[in-house]
Amino acid sequence: MDRYIKGIVFMMAAAHMALFVLLGPLLVGVVRKTKAFLSCRQGAPVFQPYLDLRKLFRRGIVRSTTASWVFDLSAPVVLGASLVLAAATPLWSRDVPLPMHFILFLYLMALPRFFQTLAGLDTGSAFGGLGSSREVAVSAMAEPALILSFCGLAYLGGADTVSGMVAGVPPGRVLWRPEVILLAGTLFLLLLAENARIPVDDPATHLELTMIHEAMVLDHAGVDLAMIQLASGVRLAIFSALVSGTVFPEALSLPTFLAIPAAVVKVVLSGALIGAAEAGMARMKISRIASYLLIATVLAAIALAVRHAG
């Protein structure tokens, strides 16, 4: 009997992660399509990221001669860590296969970045080094905002696991609850910063000198690049699930046959929102990223204060 239960739990966990793997590239596709639509272009099909991944998975790997085992390990670690994070993120239900304390969650988010920056330095290219140094600077500046907003969510949701705190956000009209709006806003600002979107980074640029995230992965190819791109999609989906879960906690309590379509709708909507945000402004100077992330930190602090006072 026990064995069957274990089997079912395993299947559920696999299905949960598989949904993230499926929705990640879709989310990227929706963002790109929205940007194309807003600039009066046709754009690539929404499902293009899947085709790109298929293409990359079939390709061989070209590797810098200076690269070591750290470089080889980086892509699997990045994808693996993202999948573990996905297992802890509520997408369609408050029950997740791997309930995780939010501090552990935050540091698991830092693990793939650690490996990716090392891999960027490992190839010996000037661009990799530039990208790694920028990535570390941005993530260090984003950390206070990230921790404060997770603390705020934990306070609000009355739980210390990621799934528990998002599902525990009191339902009701969001517009009447300033702390929810502030927290969702902070998380959205962090989503843009942590996923290399405009205004912090430009995922579409071809200019190596301006890249942050892309400069680090310039020397990855084939299967490695596919894993990194898939992980970026999953990561974007995780952030979207956190933001949309905070704004619509009710969607996590729906019956399963409704909850999964609702999750897909949430992902598509957040993709459109990210695309619209990206299309509406230019990228900022690198020196201004600090003030951008400071704003996110202040918003999170205000949310905490409002929650405490209320």
Partner 1 sequence: MLCVHTFDLGNSAPLPEDPFRAFLRETSTGGDRLLALFAEEPSPGRFLLHAVAGGSAPGRFVHACMEVSPRSFRTFTDVCPGAHWFEREIYDLFGLAPEGHPEFNPLRFHEGWPKKFFPLRSADAPAPDPRRGYRFLLVRGEGIHEVAVGPVHAGIIEPGHFRFSCAGETIQNLEIRLGYQHKGIESLFPGDPGMGKILLSESISGDTAVGHSTACARLLEAVTGKPADPSAERWRAAALEIERISNHCGDLGGLSTDIGYLFGAAHFGRLRGAALNLLLKITGNRFGRGLNRIGGIGPRVPGIAPEDLTAELGLLRAEVENAGTTLLDAPSVVARMQGTGRLLPHTAKTLQFVGMVARASGRDVDARRDFPSPACVESPPAKVLLDTGDVMARARVRVMEMRASFDWLPGVLAGATPSGATASEVVFPAAGRRLVVSVEEGWRGEIVHAAVVDGEGRITRYKVVDPSFRNWPGLSFAVRKNVISDFPVCNKSFNLSYSGSDL
- The two tokens of residue 59 are 């390709």
Q: Is 129 one of the binding residues for partner 1 (CB under 8 A)?
A: yes
CA distance 242 to 188: 9
If one asks whether residue 38 binds partner 1 (CB under 8 A), the answer comes out as yes
What's 225-248 look like in SS3?
A: HHHHHHHHHHHHHHHHHHHHHHHC
Tokens of 140: 């260090």
| Site membership for partner 1, residue 272 (CB under 8 A) | no
Cα distance between residue 31 and residue 278, in whole Å: 9
Candidate list 66, 288, 294, 308; residue touching partner 1; CB under 8 A: 288
Cβ distance to partner 1 smaller for residue 134 or 307: 134
CA nearest to 125, candidates 207, 63, 203: 63
- Name which position in 42, 65, 256, 287 contacts partner 1 (CB under 8 A): 287
Select from 128, 153, 114 the least CA-distant residue to 214: 128
Contact with partner 1 (CB under 8 A): which of 5, 40, 175, 309? Answer: 40
Size of the site for partner 1 (CB under 8 A): 31
Q: Does 221 bind partner 1 (CB under 8 A)?
A: no
Partner residues linked to 161 by β-bridges: 101
Q: How far does CA 306 lie from the centroid of its chain?
A: 26
Applying CB under 8 A, among 60, 285, 309, 310 the residue interacting with partner 1 is: 285
Q: Which stretch binds partner 1 (CB under 8 A): 77-85, 102-110, 175-183, 285-293?
A: 285-293
Cβ(12)–Cβ(217) below 8 Å: no
In the complex with partner 1, which residue's Cβ is closer, 179 or 202? 202
Helix axes 69-88, 102-122, angle to 10 degrees: 160
What phi-psi label fits residue 63: left (phi over 0), alpha (psi between -120 and 50 degrees) or beta? beta
What letter does residue 210 receive in the DSSP assignment? G
Taking contact as CB under 8 A, which single stretch among the options 49-57, 75-83, 206-214, 224-232 is the one that binds partner 1?
206-214
Q: Which stretch binds partner 1 (CB under 8 A): 33-41, 72-80, 105-113, 116-124?
A: 33-41
In the complex, least distance from residue 135 CB atom to partner 1, rounded to whole angstroms: 13
Cβ count within 10 A of residue 118: 17
**Is residue 278 a contact point for partner 1 (CB under 8 A)?**
yes
| Binding segment (CB under 8 A) for partner 1, from list 75-83, 170-178, 279-287, 292-300 | 279-287
Contacts to partner 1 by CB under 8 A: 35, 38-41, 126-127, 129-130, 133-134, 198-199, 202, 204-210, 278-279, 281-288
